[in-house]
Amino acid sequence: MCSGRVDLGHVLRAFSNGVDGVFIGGCRLNECNYATQGNFHALSMVLLCKRILNHLGLNPERLRIQFIAGSEGNLFAEIVDDFVSHVRGLGPLGQSESIDEQGLRLKLQAATKLVPYFRVVSNERLKVRFKTEEEYQEFYSSEELDRLFRELITDRLAIGQITLLLRERPLSTGEISKILGLTPSEVSRHLNSSAKQGLIRYEESQKRFALA
């Protein structure tokens, strides 16, 4: 199967199911076996996913993509062994990042629900075409990408987590802040924005926010 068919949703669901690391192997860049250059798409997807993982507080090194020829079986085995060893050194997902089970579940669930939106953003705002892996790496570590990530993704991830929390029970700003590790001012901003959109309401009797 072409590595270009590996979707962001596949990766996030794997982490949601408790795996500690995800490895994606593809043919060498500019040597696509299907003449679709899908491995460039896979590279772009992985670099975006690494940014998302890092924003969620997860080590982006838990995700790796490697380009290798089909004839390089020994090299492939060495690379996989190295990745497995590295992931074991990182420890169980969430624990080494000091994220509790509830927080980890909310973060990954919110990100997974936003996969259709991420696809649109990737196709319309982050679509680039370079010739080398280094150029992709440079773009995804650039100030331009930082700006686009903050503009297009950061707030949606936070609001997604808050919405999932409020599905369980009404909560105060302080309680949401403690669970998600966000500052009270950040939570208040997201709550006010969501209230204006009619997504949540403030229950005066409980002094808590709830889904509308």
Decide if pLDDT at 1 tops 80.
no
Write the pLDDT tens digit of every residue in 200-209: 999 999 899 9
Decide if pLDDT at 72 tops 90.
no
Residue 193 domain-assigned (yes or no): no
Residue 47 domain-assigned (yes or no): yes
Residue 209 domain-assigned (yes or no): no
Domain count of the chain? Answer: 1
Residue 180, pLDDT score: 86
* Percent of the chain residues topping a pLDDT of 70: 99
- CA dist 162 and 165 (Å) reads 5
Residue 210 domain-assigned (yes or no): no
> What are the phi and psi torsion angles at 80 (to 5°)?
-65, -45
Residue 2, pLDDT score: 85
Residue 139 near residue 130, CB atoms below 8 Å = yes
Decide if pLDDT at 34 tops 80.
no
Residue 180 domain-assigned (yes or no): no
Average pLDDT over residues 36-49: 91
Residue 181 domain-assigned (yes or no): no
Residue 178 domain-assigned (yes or no): no
Residue 136, domain extent = 3-101+114-154
Residue 122, pLDDT score: 92
- CA dist 32 and 29 (Å) reads 7
Residue 130 domain-assigned (yes or no): yes
- CA dist 175 and 25 (Å) reads 42
Residue 107 near residue 56, CB atoms below 8 Å = yes
Average pLDDT over residues 100-123: 94
